[in-house]
Structure 1
Amino acid sequence: MKNLKLIGFLMILASGLLFTQCTTDTIVGQAGADGIDGINGVNGANGLDGTDGLDGADIAVCISCHSNSHRDAINDAYTSLSKHANGSSWSYAGVGINRVGCAQCHNNQGFIDFQTTGAVHEEGYTLSQPISCTGCHNIHRSFDFANDENDMAMRTLRPVTLITNPDYTIDIKNESDVLGKSNTCVNCHQPRTSAPEATDGKYMNTSTHWGPHHGPQSTLLEGITGFEFSPAEIPVAGTGGHRTKMSCVACHMSTVDEGHSWEPANYASVTCTKCHGAKEEVTGFATGMAELAELLANAEGQAIVKVDGVWVPAFEADGTTPVITIGIVHEGGEPALGLFDIQVANAAYNYLYILEDKSNGVHNPPYVKALIEQSIKSFE
């Protein structure tokens, strides 16, 4: 009997413990290690190809330029005829620390750097590079050629502030060049030095490279920077017929492929004949330049010598008689060293300016004739 009571008591105690355990939180054990990844399933079958889209409406416009047949003709004209490619100036003027001032026009990377940042590499360039496609061309500003016209991906269309006159800007835009593509040319085809200034009525020339430089075409087209002995008789700047109605690209790049030789348009083409009749030279140009050249070749000046690194007038042994030199500009347009009257120096500058333009006056006939006539008259 006692045993039965004991068993009953133990059963009641066990039931109490069981109910108590059911009301407590479950004890969570530590997570087991990740199992091994299963094998990937088999790839599903590829879907059907979609239908090809239609060609863009302007694809022909792109192909007309971006094709070998188009580029080959341009490259042939450029490499065989253009001085941009086969001239000698870039081979010596565009390389080295001593040519930093030349690199913006005589080195392809120098031109790119100058157009991009306003400066060339301060230590110059070690590689001699002629101006090439990448110099003048970069990326289109707009692909809406129908409304914005094709800018030919010109690197710059910006108006150009002149080196010799920071207050003057040339912007060649007219019916022949609506976007101003010719402004690319103006960047380099401008004078580097101005007309000489007098010191006690004289000018001392100490350089055989004296003058406006070799590419003053843009300013002569504009009708500025020559020395004006009588300004009132000089045509107003920017009024020449070729400046108002034509442009660099209209005359020198009348066709895209042959245009990359930059040879002037064939006179028989519509570029010239739409305004001009029979072909003729600028009236009085050849005789005027010949007369001016003779006056300059016989102009009297004083020789100069370098003493302790400084140029000074030369005198005879008596110390008072000037050593005479004849000619401020010799045959072929070579400037001579010496001390000359300022009017002689200014006439020489005009002669070199017109000579280096190399258009025989065609760029701006009225302006050129006025400069020649005034320069000749200054000798009277």
Structure 2
Amino acid sequence: MKNLKLIGFLMIIASSLMFIQCTSDPIAGPQGLAGADGIDGINGVDGTNGVDGMDSTASCVACHSESHRGPVEASYKLSLHAMDPLHTDRGTGDLINTSDYTNRGSCAQCHTSEGYIDYVSGFPVAPGGGYPDDLSYDYGKQTISCNTCHSSHSSFDFDNDGQDFALRNVAPVTLVYDDVTIIDFEGTSNNCTTCHQPRNSYAVPAGIDDYAITSSRFGPHHGPQSTLLEGILGANIAGSEAYPGSGADGDNSHRTGLGDVASNCVSCHMGTTTDENDGLHSMWPTTNACTACHTNGAPTEVSGYAVDFETLKGLLIAAGSLTESGSTVSGTYPIAVAQATWNWKTLEEDKSNGVHNPKYAKALLKNSIEALQ
């Protein structure tokens, strides 16, 4: 009996040892089925998916690419600014080159690339904003190039700060004429005003006393485009034709724009072209810019301008202050003759046939003619 109990006890111990061995060293079975996917994460506060960010180089590539650069360079070759070799002025038929005056310090600020860069950088500075007489840029022909007008962006936040196209100047321009008068075309067109303004060589004739013309270059040499557009710096002789006022307050839609149509140097001279011979960087006014307002076609001159222009020229030749070629004659003249001469030279140098400021151009011509008749 005792033996049977002993045998039973030994069997229980053996079974326990077998159970411990199986559970302490299991044999891996086949992999079970994959569990269900977890719940998607929660989207943002507005419950929508995020939006991919814009390529960081996209705004740069829009301009800084060969596909953009090619048409710009081709267009610029049509410009009178490029002029190397000589180009024919479409207005006068003359062969001209902007870099003919590299040896004259007073001309360098607009006729040479290096001179312009120095000028807009504020160095050197002379009374009236010009150059000292002894400063010369004698480095051969310095044709105006891309680098003349363009340098680096003042800001890359175009959405908030505006696109300045890396122009060297977009700020309001203080005229060299008197170092006081300011013209502000509000943006990129200010870069044009930097050069397209009268020099400080001669004062606009005023008062009642006789006036001495001392040079064959008397007048607003060479660029009164900005001042005519602004409606200033003509000799406003009293007469039957009213003057339209000046600046943004003047009656000149070519200065202020009309409705939603912008109007400034850039919008008219650098607009989209239809035949690749104008607009863009050629600087030749585009028909598209004109027909936005002039739906019957782009005018080439102010009505009656050519007749009045030649009439005034004839009167000045008779008065002795002007030659057939359009040069002024040194001498002392009655104030009306000097003022009329200034006005004719202003319109001649402007070269827009009065289009820059039709009402102002008409008043300058009509009232000058009346004063001499």
TM-score, normalised on structure 1? 0.70
Match of 1:156 among 155, 162, 169: 169
Query: Equivalents in 1 of 2:254, 2:113: separation in Å?
Result: 29
Shift of 1:201: 3.1
What SS does the aligned partner of 2:153 have?
Answer: coil
What corresponds to 1:249 in structure 2?
A: 266
Residue 124, structure 1, aligned to residue 133, structure 2: no
- CA distance in structure 2 between the partners assigned to 1:90 and 1:81 by the alignment: 11
The answer as to whether partners of 2:81 and 2:98 remain within 8 angstroms in 1 is no
Where structure 1 has 5 or more consecutive residues not aligned to the other structure, the ranges are 1-53, 174-179, 300-326
1:81 match: 79
Q: Does residue 184 of the first structure (1) align with residue 191 of the second (2)? A: yes
**Among 23, 36, 60, which residue is 2:58 paired with?**
60
Which sections of structure 2, spanning at least 5 residues, go unmatched?
Answer: 1-51, 87-95, 125-130, 258-262
Residue identity over aligned pairs, in percent, reads 42
Structure 1 match to 2:211: 203
Question: Corresponding residue for 1:221?
Answer: 229
Q: Match of 2:340?
A: 347
* Cα 1:140/1:202, change in 2 over 3 Å: same
Cα deviation 1:165-190 (Å, max 9, x = unaligned):
322100002xxxxxx10001101101
Match of 2:69 among 60, 71, 89: 71
Output the CA distance in 2 between the equivalents of 1:216 and 1:197.
Answer: 16
Partner of 2:146: 133
Aligned-pair distance for 1:84?
Answer: 4.0
Is the 8 Å Cα contact of residues 76 and 82 (structure 2) preserved in structure 1? yes
SS at the partner of 1:71? helix
8 Å contact kept, 1:82–1:260: no
CA deviation profile, 1:330-350 (whole Å, cap 9, x unmatched): 234221233322211110110
Residue 104 (1) aligns with residue 109 (2) = yes
User: 2:285 maps to what in 1?
Assistant: 264
- Higher mean C-alpha displacement, 246-255 vs 215-224: 246-255
* Deviation of the 1:131 alpha carbon: 1.7
Matched residue type, 2:81: K
1:194 CA displacement: 4.4
Instruction: Give the distance between the partners of 1:125 and 1:351, measured in 2 at CA.
Output: 32
The amino acid of 2:198's aligned partner reads: P
Give the drift of 1:150: 2.1
Query: How many Å separate the matches in 2 of 1:296 and 1:259?
Result: 38
Q: Distance in 1 between matches of 2:101 and 2:337?
A: 30
Give the structure 1 partner of residue 243 of structure 2. 234
Q: Once structures 1 and 2 are overlaid, which stretch shifts more, 230-239 or 366-375?
A: 230-239
Q: Provide the TM-score with structure 2 as the length reference.
A: 0.71
Q: Is the 8 A contact 1:78 1:85 kept in 2?
A: no
Q: Which residue of 1 aligns with 2:5?
A: none
1: distance between equivalents of 2:162 and 2:211? 50
1:47-91 deviations in whole A, cap 9, x for unaligned? xxxxxxx99624232222112222122122222433343354443
Structure 2 counterpart SS, 1:93:
coil
**SS in structure 1 opposite 2:342?**
helix
Q: How far is 1:205 from its partner?
A: 2.4
Partner residue of 2:306 out of 265, 286, 293? 286
- Structure-2 separation of matches of 1:284 and 1:89: 31
State which structure, 1 or 2, has the greater radius of gyration over its C-alpha atoms. Answer: 1
Question: Which structure shows the bigger proportion of residues in strand conformation?
Answer: 1
Cα 1:284/1:166, change in 2 over 3 Å: same
Which letter maps to 2:340?
Answer: A
Change (3 A) 1:195 1:117: closer
Partners of 2:123 and 2:67 lie apart in 1 by 35
Alignment: residue pair count: 288
Over the aligned positions, Cα root-mean-square deviation in angstroms equals: 2.5
